[in-house]
Amino acid sequence: MQALLLTALALAPLQGGDAATSPWSPRKAEHLLNRAGFGASTAEVQRWTEAGQAALVEHLLTSAGPTPAWEYEARIPDFDSVRAMEQEKRVRLIQQVRQQMTREAIDFVAEWLEGMVRGEDPLRDRMRLFWHGLFTSAQTTVKRGDYMIRQAELIDRHALGNYGDLLREMLEDPAMLVYLDNISNRRRKPNENLAREVMELFSLGEGHYTEEDVREAARALTGYGVGRSQEPGGSFQFLARDHDFGRKTILGQSGRFDADDLVEVLLAQDACAEWIAGRLLEWFEGAEPAADRRAAYAALLRRSNYEVLPVLRALFMDPAFYSDDLIGARIQSPVDFMVGSARRLGITPVGEFLGVSASVLGERIFDPPNVKGWEGGMAWINTSSLMMRGNLTGVVLGLVDLGDLGVDEELDAMMADEGMEASMEGMQAMEGADRRRAQIAPDLVRAMRALRSGMGGRRRFTPPATQLRRTLALRRPAGDEELVEQALEELLAIVPPLETRAPLVAFLRQAREAEGLPEEAFLVRGGQRAEAILRQLAHLILSLPEAQLG
């Protein structure tokens, strides 16, 4: 089957001279490692270039299986005893349990992110993020950290498995049922929120169903709710008295449908396979696929009965996946950027820092901006977030710390230039500026605190040694130019254009000469001063537009 597909794809016309038609190369290996995982060191790229494409694809597709179940620390108090409490005590207890659950959700995400940095199961993690962005639920709405953990575990179980199974179980998932209001979808009082989003976002895409289909699907979902469970994670509950057992007509099919039947009706739609295949291709390729490729992958998805592994295998072997339009053209998501940068620097910041950083940059795991998930691509980048990416890299490297946030000399100088200090307006402005200094960069401060939390709460963050200096020293660069060349190779997920190098070489030379350090064997002979300069060089490189791509 796959062979058939690949033949069909091979017959599709390709643009001339494209990477798609050229042999396996470090550039292609790194592309696959970026897209199917979270990037790799230059040594790994080299290793997989030699091992070959098929070996790398099989390696990526071989997963250790889902992460072991989360062991909750929080205990949900017995319902009857809570009911017996006086109001004030009860409210306090409930609040306490909620907070504990929220804490556990933060820890869960932190561990997940640390796993991404270690890179043990990259494709599974990448697919978990995909499904999390497709089957969205938001903790701010659900208000139960344990429900979010349970949903993440459901996704984990099916991350590389079967889409149909995932969809079916999602309709019995407590976080989902709360998030899209199905807990109040009852026979006599239908609520169509879940039914609509199932069709619009989780299976068919807009334009492939009618308003009548939404109403009828909502009837099929009546009575699907959440039970009162003392187990953390909650429980699904089907309430027969709230379910509408009558006949429904959905997308031309009629029957006494329930949620499972609805899933069967949806899976039988061509639009469903098209939608999921399109979303998958876009996720890995970073661009909307052409209609014919989407159709070919949709057909493969249908033939595999919605198993995703065959689709991923075909995609990673597909020459079109390695097109010059795609390689190096995707904007890294905040998680990609934070996790990938840590991996390339050879450091492992605490997961909570990675989580806070990603959320500051617009990707708060467990809290998508809306039911459609994260938009991705160029939407990640604006003037604020681009500067913030550089600032967070500075935090990781120990080059931006709380002490740096208190002063804004540049601004003061500018106001002095304008002669504003002397004026009344100037005085007011200074006071206003002073007041705000306390809260000058709340997001950055949050990230720094998270980083420090993993270091015994010390006031000044001591950056961990990077692997970078060792790695580069071993590569024995002949001089400044070669050192910059190699640092770019190690730190970027893409091959940079030629013009990126010159100003970096100028920086390195200037900084090195200012310290009176020799060009030859600079990294070895320069000691701590060389390390400091190298960190600055790394900070510059990771603040570049080039570092946002992968």
Residues 411-450 that bind another protein (CB under 8 A): 411, 414-415, 420, 425, 428-433, 435-437, 439-444
Phi, psi of 431 (to 5 degrees): -60, -45
Determine which residue in the list 28, 144, 196, 344 makes contact with another protein, applying CB under 8 A: 196
Give the chain's length. 550
Residues 439-498 that bind another protein (CB under 8 A): 439-444, 494-495, 497-498
Determine which residue in the list 185, 203, 341, 357 makes contact with another protein, applying CB under 8 A: 185
- Stretch in the footprint of another protein (CB under 8 A) among 257-265, 454-462, 470-478, 499-507: 499-507
Owner of token pair 């979808």? 185
Between 166 and 180, name the residue whose CB sits nearer to another protein: 180
- Stretch in the footprint of another protein (CB under 8 A) among 4-12, 151-159, 180-188, 476-484: 180-188
**Shortest Å distance, C-beta 74 to another protein:** 25
Concatenating the DSSP letter of every residue in 207-225 gives TSS-HHHHHHHHHHTTTEE
Residues 505-544 that bind another protein (CB under 8 A): 506-507, 510-511, 514, 536, 539-540, 543-544
Between 180 and 468, name the residue whose CB sits nearer to another protein: 180
**Shortest Å distance, C-beta 78 to another protein:** 26
**Count of residues interacting with another protein (CB under 8 A):** 94
Residues 299-358 that bind another protein (CB under 8 A): 323-331
The per-residue b/e assignment along 241-252, b for 16 or more CB within 10 angstroms, e otherwise, is ebbbeeebebbe
Residue 454 Ramachandran class (φ > 0 left, ψ -120 to 50 alpha, else beta): alpha
Residues 355-414 that bind another protein (CB under 8 A): 362, 369-372, 378-379, 381-388, 390-391, 394, 399-401, 404-405, 408, 410-411, 414
Residues 204-263 that bind another protein (CB under 8 A): 206, 211
Residue 186, helix vs strand vs coil:
strand
**Shortest Å distance, C-beta 391 to another protein:** 5
Residues 108-137 that bind another protein (CB under 8 A): none
Determine which residue in the list 156, 172, 192, 318 makes contact with another protein, applying CB under 8 A: 192
Judge contact between 21 and 320, C-beta under 8 A: no
499 binds another protein (CB under 8 A): yes
Concatenating the DSSP letter of every residue in 473-541 gives HHT--SSHHHHHHHHHHHH-SSPPPGGGHHHHHHHHHHHHHHTT--STTHHHHSHHHHHHHHHHHHHHH
Residues 147-176 that bind another protein (CB under 8 A): none
Element (DSSP H or E) covering residue 384: helix 383-396
**Shortest Å distance, C-beta 423 to another protein:** 11
**Shortest Å distance, C-beta 342 to another protein:** 18
Q: Which DSSP letter does residue 459 get?
A: S
Angstrom distances, CA of residue 216 to CA of 222, 251, 256, 257? 10, 9, 11, 9
94 binds another protein (CB under 8 A): no
**Shortest Å distance, C-beta 372 to another protein:** 6
Identify the CA nearest to 136 among candidates 332, 289, 279, 235.
Answer: 279
Phi, psi of 48 (to 5 degrees): -75, -20
Phi, psi of 307 (to 5 degrees): -75, 135
**Shortest Å distance, C-beta 192 to another protein:** 6
C-alpha span between 434 and 411 (Å, rounded): 12
Beta bridge partners of 189: 186
264 binds another protein (CB under 8 A): no
Residues 17-46 that bind another protein (CB under 8 A): 17, 19
Chain-centre distance of CA 260, in angstroms?
30
Between 128 and 196, name the residue whose CB sits nearer to another protein: 196
